[in-house]
Amino acid sequence: MPEGDTIFRAARALNRALAGKTVKHFDTALAPLARRNDDEPVAGRVIEKVESRGKWLIVHFSGDLMLVTHMLMSGSWHIYRIGERWKMPRSKMRAVIATDNFEAVAFDVPVAQFHTARSLERSTMVPDLGPDLLNRNFSADEARSRLLAEADAEIADALLNQRVMAGPGNVFKSEVCFACRLNPFRKVATLSERDIECILDTARKFMAANVNDGSAGGIVTYSGARRTTHSAHPGDRLWVYGRQGKECRRCGAAVLMRKQGKGARSTYWCPECQPLLADASMPQVVKVEGWSVPVRRRKVGC
């Protein structure tokens, strides 16, 4: 499933290509969107902006109309110049927004709805999101309060809860727990203030590192493999996620994986670096991706 960093980058690229442009053509394979477009045509409207809110992507049109999409496991947005060959078959197209120069195509997007500002406020989905980790106005206090309200939840499950914080998914869940030396199966109620500070700081830093903008104002945005370590090598880009049975990059123990939560999502962790019981004798800082992150074990360089 695309996580918040992926959606942020997609929204940024779409905004650069489309914002301020007039829609020349709109097409969709989804009946609810088609019916709304028949009654209130999208063509002729100006695309005011494209933004992300956690894992949601929102295209704002003039005349109080928004296209709200969620990628779930398989969806993606592509940008093509007019006449350029699509990289996916038309059978996977769910919506097309075309301007004079570009086509933005949503492929395999399972959730796509038109909203007005009022209907979106009444929605039970987007307005209930927790603070967005990639938002400049991220409120650590609100995130802390929402996290603590999930006292009976396991830490990794709470990190997946978009009503606690918007953006992190399965990869960041495991990586943040590892960086903070927190066993992902502990209860939120066992977290110290230092643990919570580490979770919030590390989650923000990891996600921010994956939306670095090197496009110099163009529409191309970062599309490389997600990473939380200092290495750009494909095999070394993550600490524990996807590394079941391999040596922990810090202590050499075998990384474990277990399904967790109602969704049976894969959780990866190191049993040595992330014990269920904290060791008060462990030092408190480790370098992760060049940042100082509070943890509970020996100091290790990237």
Q: Supply the pLDDT for residue 165.
A: 96
Handedness of CA 36, 40, 44, 45 (dihedral sign): negative
Catalytic residue among 51, 55, 168, 205: 55
- Give the integer Cα–Cα distance in Å for 82 and 223: 22
- Name the DSSP letter for residue 21: P
Pairwise CA distance, residues 296 & 195, whole Å: 10
Q: How far apart are CA 283 and CA 295, in angstroms?
A: 7
Active-site annotation holds for 299: no
Interatomic CA distance for residues 295 and 81, integer angstroms? 47
Q: Annotated catalytic residue: which of 3, 51, 103, 175?
A: 3
Active site residue 55: yes
pLDDT at residue number 224: 58
Q: Which SS3 state, helix, strand or coil, does residue 64 take?
A: coil
State how far Cα 98 lies from the chain centre: 26
Res 84: pLDDT: 96
Q: Which residue has the tokens 């997007």?
A: 109
Q: Which domains does the chain have, with CATH numbers?
A: 4-128 (3.20.190.10), 140-294 (1.10.8.50)
Instruction: State the chain's maximal CA–CA distance in angstroms.
Output: 67
Residue pLDDT tens, the chain, 302 long: 678 899 999 999 999 999 999 999 999 999 999 999 999 999 999 999 999 999 999 999 999 999 999 998 889 999 999 999 999 999 999 999 999 999 999 999 999 999 999 999 988 778 789 999 999 999 999 999 999 999 999 999 999 999 999 999 999 999 999 999 999 999 999 999 999 999 999 999 999 989 876 554 444 444 557 788 877 777 788 999 999 999 999 999 999 999 999 889 999 999 999 998 654 434 343 444 444 444 434 333 33
Q: Verify whether residue 234 is a known catalytic residue.
A: no
pLDDT of residue 231: 77
Which one is catalytic: 2, 131, 168, 184? 2
The count of other CB atoms within 10 Å of the CB of residue 94 is 20
C-alpha span between 4 and 166 (Å, rounded): 7
The residue among 218, 238, 268 whose CA lies nearest residue 81 is 218
